Amino acid sequence: MSAHAYSPVTERTVEELQKLIGASNVSADLEKRIAYSYDEVPRFYWDKEYIAEVVVFPETTEDVSALMRYANDHRIPVTPRGAGTGLSGGAVPFSGGIVLSFEKMRAIIELDKKNLTITVEPGVVTAEITKAAEREGLLYAGDPCSGDASFIGGNVAENAGGNKVVKYGTTGNSVLALEAVLPDGTVTWFGGKRRKDATGYDFAHLIVGSEGTLAVVTKIILKLLPLPGKVLDLLVPFPDVASAIDFAPRVMSEGKVIPSSMEFMDRRSIKLAERFLNTRLPFDDAGAHLIIQLEGNDPEVLADDMERIGDLCFAHGALEVFVADNRTTRDKLWKARKCLAEAIMAFYPKYSLEDLVVPTSEIPKLMAETTRLCTKYGLEEANFGHVGDGNMHVNILFPEERPDWHDIVDALLDELYDFTASIGGTLSGEHGIGLKRQKYMCRVMDASQMELIHRVKLAFDPNNILNPGKMISCPDRE
């Protein structure tokens, strides 16, 4: 199926969509269509403008089902959209058509204290789920840095990670069940409130991370946990990147603690955070910082853990160990960590934010190769990320405009992705493939895997109407 085989959205289409879900839930206004056609990958990244032909705002699962059935019958492409904070172009309407926004489906339907679950619609902002759970003394473990803005539906579609993955896993680890609307409009549930399920294929977790290419998620049941009684963060400056990275795995292997977070920031990242927030961080001239978060219920056990990890830090070259044990200092610390992507967007005219993941033992090689490549191409780098998961946000920065910037990024990423694959890594740990990385999928997937991906896609979406052009480069079918 080629791109021109899709039907255009006409005035009549808009009228029919309005009849299906109400006039106020359909917009063909150009300004709105543009506003809903981008995520946080900058517009300059794309070779052309990809603009939705119409934006729809369903209020119920029935609305979504009716929309999908209509789009499938008329062969109109549909791009689901959460909050548009994605960093891979997943919500960009590559083939035009309908953008399906979930901003009106934002109900927290139920918090079930007996089963420790929370059931939500896809348009709920991630942080609202955290707060709702906390009010009941419970923990929702998903914690992407974008959590104040991102929607849970987008987190599920990307299998978002974040700051607590080292202990609790990615969003998918919290997903027990999904209500999904298939591309032909069929509504079905995958999974349930049960903690185990060995009945057939695990479709719920096939949908998790499928980037809106297989089904549209309309309800989500998430697992909750007891909220730890006390949390403290250690900010640990090291003289250089190598010593910080070398230390990170020792927290678990020698300190015998699973931290709830273990984050890394290099010197340029620290400086960017300071500039962006107009603040100073301790030891801001250090080569790199780790943030190590510990949590528990028994204050004495936690104090012991802190002391043991602190001693270990000093034994392995830490310059200092700062303890943030109250909300204000912890918030300041995390604000610095969480603002880094935005700081890059604010201060660099051109950049590429990458999301590489490697076995943790290979991080030093990845860092060294990044430096080598940035030096080779005359660029800057700022690296930070989830060091406990081997997931490094390697960021390629252009200090000034260069007309050939796209060719340079392409050449650099060609080398960097190949190197990452050669050390057992892959293209993305949490931001996804989307439109940005789909041409590189063959670097990390062999022909048999690519064929399976195509077949799975066709099994769910034989007409290729759901988020076409994403994740898989599928030229013969688009």
Ligand X SMILES: Cc1cc2nc3c(=O)[nH]c(=O)nc-3n(C[C@H](O)[C@H](O)[C@H](O)COP(=O)(O)OP(=O)(O)OC[C@H]3O[C@@H](n4cnc5c(N)ncnc54)[C@H](O)[C@@H]3O)c2cc1C
Report the interface residues with ligand X, using CB under 6 A. Answer: 39-40, 79-87, 90-91, 102, 122, 144-146, 150-151, 153-155, 157-158, 160-162, 211-212, 216-217, 341-342, 430-431, 434, 467
Q: Pick between residue 149 and residue 319 the one whose CB is nearest to ligand X.
A: 149
User: What is the three-class DSSP state of 461?
Assistant: coil
| β-strands 138-139, 78-81 pairing | unpaired
Q: Pick between residue 335 and residue 372 the one whose CB is nearest to ligand X.
A: 335
Q: Pick between residue 13 and residue 150 the one whose CB is nearest to ligand X.
A: 150
Smallest distance from the beta carbon of 164 to ligand X, in angstroms? 10
Smallest distance from the beta carbon of 319 to ligand X, in angstroms? 26
Distance CA 246, CA 267 (A): 16
Smallest distance from the beta carbon of 148 to ligand X, in angstroms? 9
Smallest distance from the beta carbon of 39 to ligand X, in angstroms? 4
Contact between residue 220 and residue 175 where contact means Cβ atoms under 8 Å apart: yes
Q: Copy the structure tokens of residue 110.
A: 């139920």
Q: Pick between residue 146 and residue 420 the one whose CB is nearest to ligand X.
A: 146
Smallest distance from the beta carbon of 453 to ligand X, in angstroms? 15
Smallest distance from the beta carbon of 234 to ligand X, in angstroms? 20
Q: Do you know the residue count of the chain? A: 478
* Residue 227 DSSP code: P
* Residue 228 DSSP code: P
Q: Pick between residue 80 and residue 310 the one whose CB is nearest to ligand X.
A: 80
Q: Copy the structure tokens of residue 239.
A: 């003289």
Q: Pick between residue 27 and residue 306 the one whose CB is nearest to ligand X.
A: 27
* Residue 427 DSSP code: S
Element (H, E) at 132: helix 126-135
Give which of 396, 393, 387 is closest to 244, Cα–Cα: 387
Distance CA 341, CA 470 (A): 23
Smallest distance from the beta carbon of 349 to ligand X, in angstroms? 18
Element (H, E) at 267: helix 267-277
Give which of 451, 364, 369 is closest to 417, Cα–Cα: 369
Smallest distance from the beta carbon of 205 to ligand X, in angstroms? 14
Smallest distance from the beta carbon of 376 to ligand X, in angstroms? 28
Q: Pick between residue 80 and residue 255 the one whose CB is nearest to ligand X.
A: 80
Contacts of 208 (CB under 8 A, 6+ apart): 156, 157, 159, 171, 172, 175, 178
Q: Copy the structure tokens of residue 465.
A: 């109407």
Instruction: Give CA 148 to chain center in angstroms.
Output: 13
Smallest distance from the beta carbon of 169 to ligand X, in angstroms? 12
| β-strands 138-139, 225-226 pairing | antiparallel
**Virtual CA dihedral for 209, 90, 390, 317, nearest 10 degrees?**
-140
Residues facing 262 on adjacent strands: 292
Q: Pick between residue 55 and residue 321 the one whose CB is nearest to ligand X.
A: 55
Neighbours of 424 (CB within 10 A): 12
Q: Pick between residue 321 and residue 466 the one whose CB is nearest to ligand X.
A: 466
Q: Pick between residue 289 and residue 296 the one whose CB is nearest to ligand X.
A: 289
DSSP string, 322-360: EEE-SHHHHHHHHHHHHTHHHHHHHH-SEEEE-BEE--G
Smallest distance from the beta carbon of 85 to ligand X, in angstroms? 3
Q: Pick between residue 19 and residue 275 the one whose CB is nearest to ligand X.
A: 275
Neighbours of 293 (CB within 10 A): 22
Q: Copy the structure tokens of residue 469.
A: 């052009």
